[in-house]
Structure 1
Amino acid sequence: MKKNNHLIICLMALLVSLHLYADENNRAKIILDRTAEAYRQAGGVCIRFGGTQQGVLALKGECFYLECGGVKSWFDGKTQWSYVEQNEEVTISTPSAEELQSINPYALINSYETLFECRYGTRHAMKGQTGNEIILIPREKGDIQSIVVFISAEYHPLCITIKLANGETQEFRILSYQTNQPYTNAYFRFDSRKYPNAEVIDMR
């Protein structure tokens, strides 16, 4: 009888721990869903970031413009243009979902459910702002090993850390976050008139 009691206690402990684990993961999903909704409601967004590299990221829906490390990238939802100032070359491509996440970490907000398993980390403060840490693990092996997103109480990402399979880590700290920017669709496309000497490399 005593042996059976121990078995029952162990089973109950296991069920409780699984329930807590499920609740925490559900909490992570709720936070990410609210973050995605806040982003969708924000209109055009302009973000200045620091960390591994410094730069500016403009967003509207699935479109983005990124200026970082001497490279300017435009993405209109289908086609990407990457202009390297030093070489005066622009490469045209159709990026995969994983490639977009490494270039534009905000892409994961809209695609996390299909590409990642999400786990709740901890609630803590970062530079005076309290927020929640969400851990994303890719469902399939690739260049990205894991992504940690630190989200504010207003459901704005404050820091995104990407761990790559090669051991490298990229960190993006949000320095400013401006919403309702009046971006047009053309803003997210490469304008050849502004770069008349650029050599075009079409990889599509």
Structure 2
Amino acid sequence: MKQIALFYTLFLTLLFTFEVSAQKDPKAKIVLDAMSEKFQAMNGFTANFDFTFQDASGTGDRQSGDIAVKGEQYRLKLPDQEIYNDGKTVWTYIQSDNYKEVTINDASQMEGELTPSNIYRLYESGYSYKLIGEKQFQGKTAQVVELIAEKNNAPFEQVKLMIDKGSSSLLGWEMFDGQGGVFSYTFNNLKLEANLPASYFVFDTKQYPGIEVIDLR
């Protein structure tokens, strides 16, 4: 009886060990580490991007914009809004024909959200990952790495990263919210911009007379 119990214990141990190792695919980690190192070595970049959203019913939306990223700082421009993040403060600027508004938050209030800077480190905690294959993406061979959230309350339960096999650059990604919604981002015209000044990521309210300021800090 003791031998059966011992065998069962060993079996569970081996099974658990297999499951844990399967959550962190070593091949995927090599690809992800190379992508992260490439991003850190860039010391800043600018790009155009396409953003699409499709909900469970098939209804979708498409937008294009511009992005600049340097370390923890980023500046994101969409048709109806701009987001500035200098690593400490986040400004969300919205304007219409006769109305201007900026909402100010501490960057720490945005923790847990997916941003243009932390997408490169998303895999480091809170997600398991595996290399699921290769595909042609933007005319390049991309390695597709799937991230699966380890907790139910994660903003996105699944993320797929398309990483250039030749250069380790992140070409785009897809995010799944668990409710049937899919968010897709694709980079275009990626340019290295190491000389982006810190002021580029700061929104100066003095340059916008009459703007309504909503300070939530």
Equivalent residue pairs, number? 186
Q: Does 1:184 align with 2:197?
A: yes
SS at match of 2:157: strand
SS at match of 1:54: strand
Contact persistence 2:129–2:146 (CA under 8 A): yes
The structure whose residues are more often helix, as a share, is: 1
SS at match of 1:197: coil
Structure 1 residue 165: deviation in Å? 3.2
Give the unaligned 5+ runs of structure 2. Answer: 1-10, 53-62
Aligned to 1:78: 88
Matches within 5 A, 1:1-204: 18=18, 22=22, 25-52=25-52, 53-86=63-96, 87-94=99-106, 95-99=109-113, 101=114, 104-140=115-151, 141-153=153-165, 154-204=167-217
Alpha-carbon distance in structure 2 between the residues aligned to 1:51 and 1:108: 15
Contact persistence 1:105–1:160 (CA under 8 A): no
Question: TM-score, normalization: structure 2?
Answer: 0.78
Alpha-carbon distance in structure 1 between the residues aligned to 2:177 and 2:139: 28
The residue identity in structure 2 corresponding to 1:90 is V
Taking only aligned residues, the RMSD between alpha carbons, in angstroms, comes to 2.3
Post-superposition CA distance 1:103-126 (Å, at most 9, x none):
x24412124211321221111222
The residue identity in structure 1 corresponding to 2:105 is S
User: Percentage identity across aligned positions?
Assistant: 27
List 4+ stretches of structure 1 deviating above 6 A: none
Contact persistence 2:46–2:68 (CA under 8 A): yes
Alpha-carbon distance in structure 1 between the residues aligned to 2:183 and 2:101: 25
Alpha-carbon distance in structure 2 between the residues aligned to 1:203 and 1:138: 29
Give the unaligned 5+ runs of structure 1. Answer: 1-10
